[in-house]
Chain A
Amino acid sequence: MTTQAPHRLEDEFTSEHHVYEPHKVGLPPIGSYVRELWRRREFAVELARTNLRSQHFNTVFGQLWLVINPLLLAAVYFVLVDILRSGSRGPEFFAHLMAGLFAYYFVQQSLNQGVRSVVSGGRLILNTAFPRALLPISSVITAFLRFVPTFLIYIPVHFLSGLSVGPQTLWLIPILAILAVFAMGVTMLVAAGQVYVRDLKNFLPYATRIWLYSTPILYYSHEVPDRYDWILTVNPLASIISAWSTVIDTNHAPALNDVLIGTAWAVGVFLVAAVFFVSREREFAVRL
């Protein structure tokens, strides 16, 4: 054996000794998969950055558009809702709407980027052996990098609309983490799904729009009439966004119920999606 860098680990993708044997759809050894994933985390970050760059977000106007676009949408939704409510909405509702919308766009962007991630990585997938989960992970990172500037814009709005901050505001961090885990899960689902059903990405805009309307963003969750309560129950994002909004709107800790249900959804979806994705990923090379 010739020289070997010491940090090369014994594993499926880079070891010095590989044996490939037939397998049914199944999971590779989880330990080495995760280790490889971690070792190549730079790839996911770099791909996310490159994606942003290729979408021209490294230019001044690109950056500006990144912020203006969601801001305009928030304004449009505010006017719309305010008209429907006969002009009874105050500035604190605008803050609620904007914060909720931006958090929601984080998930939506993850999905939009992620649905293409595996299919457009075709050449890389055909020619390099690496953990494919890096591709959807990178999409979530891209979406997060887009989320950060919009959140910065939100901060002055928060104060201008008379809302306050306090120690409870720190709840936003774990809630965002739950949201990220959830986004990761659904993104892996659509990324793998797109390989099998290529028009998934055409349905996605409709799905995400309906999802937005059924999440308590354009309204407060306590305003939902009883007969529509079930929508919030079946919508995984409802609890997470409710928790998020509680902290934003009231500067109180979120309802424990929301946090627990939200976490359960996020972890559950993530695990199902990870098993689905990872157990299928070796088939991707044949399907592309």
Chain B
Amino acid sequence: MPSGSDPKPAIRVEDLSITYRTPIERKPTLRTMLVRAGRRERLVAEIDAVKNVSFEVPRGSVLGVVGANGAGKSTLVRSIAGILPPTSGRVEVNGRVSTLLALGVGFNRKLTGRENVVLGGLAAGWSRDELAEKYDEIVKFAELKKFMDYPMRTYSSGMYGRLAFSVAVTMDPDILLIDEALSVGDARFKRKSFRRMRKLCEQNRTVVLVSHALQSIKDLCDHAIWMHEGELRMWDDPESVIDAYTEFLEVGEDAVTMEDV
């Protein structure tokens, strides 16, 4: 893939590596720490989630990210969002970022949809006025008018995804980061969200789309990257990347992989 053509791309990732050091147990407690200190062992997993990855995303294009589970796709996108700091390397982002990471608006399922939208928006730095202005648009796009005052635990995963998507695209981002979001929602909503993303691209916005739905990637993206075990395997046009990826998976382009898995 040619690089360096655009002097100021929307996203430039240079030699990025991200390594976590996390305790292996799910919940680190004092008790387990003491027991472990007594045995003089330290169980810390070192995970190289992303290794020496470099690529750039030109303004106004859609980048698809494919790869098996645990390939480092989500970590990569989180570092572009500025949520995870790089261990080495550099990420440069030009534009206002809106994230839709693993369907993350509903951070508190006990709260209603409305409360989640308001809190999420305020945390992302919206003002009350902006929020009031955009609230109706969000609800309308998500088609959830009836459900906004119900706690989010009563939502189906499709409704959840619809709301998350609506919030992210309504934020009017220069750069939209979407992680695994398109596999939710029914066919109609999916078409609607495609159209919305296309529209964002026409407005010279940039989209990074992480998905297992290979057909979506083919349809929507201008370029694609394939992540494998933290490394960048390939960076090319979507057809070639997906051909190589499906061949690697040895599944071929059958209906199951091309549809949303």
Chain A residues proximal to chain B, CB less than 8 Å: 1-2, 4-5, 7-8, 12-14, 16-23, 36, 39-40, 42-43, 46-47, 50, 53-54, 120-130, 134, 196-200, 203, 282, 285-287
Contact = CB atoms under 8 A, between A and B. Distances in A.
B92 A47 contact: no
A16 B94 contact: yes
B28 A198 contact: yes
A129 B204 contact: no
Given A20-B82, A39-B125, A54-B110, A127 B104 contact: yes
A197 B33 CA distance: 9
A191 to B, nearest CB: 15
B91 A20 contact: yes
Chain B interface size band reads 35 or more
Interface in B118-161: 118-120, 122-125, 127-128, 130
Contacts of A53: 115
B123 A128 contact: yes
B27 interface: yes
B99 A128 contact: yes
B124 A197 contact: no
B95 A1 contact: yes
Contacts of B22: 286-287
Contact of B20 (A14, A46, A286): A286
B68 interface: no
A192 B205 CA distance: 37
A54 B109 CA distance: 11
A197 B104 contact: no
Contacts of A124: 104, 107-108, 119-120, 123
B82 A12 contact: yes
Contacts of B123: 40, 43, 124, 128, 130, 134
